[in-house]
Amino acid sequence: MKAYEFPAHITTDGKLELPAAELPRSLNNQAVRVIVLISETENSSEQTDLGRPHHYSIPGRL
């Protein structure tokens, strides 16, 4: 498994915003896993329900 790292931002309405990035063409039309890493110092007191599936709209190409 290969990893590609991108800086991202979670908007005020809870959407994951990724930069427009060109990935290798060999990755086109494949399912991917997304892991969101958040610094513990940011919103550490806020608890979220990560067990439920969520659908995010991601602008740009991935």
**Element containing residue 30 per DSSP (H, E):** none
Q: What burial class does residue 10 get, using C-beta atoms within 10 Å of its C-beta: 0-12 exposed, 13-18 middle, 19+ buried? A: middle
Phi-psi domain of 20 (left: phi exceeds 0; alpha: psi -120 through 50; beta: other): beta
pTM of the predicted model, to two decimals? Answer: 0.51
- Per-residue pLDDT 10s for the chain (62 aa) are 888 888 899 999 999 888 887 788 888 899 888 888 888 875 545 545 555 555 555 555 44
pLDDT at 6: 86
Cα Rg of the chain, angstroms = 13
**Element containing residue 49 per DSSP (H, E):** none
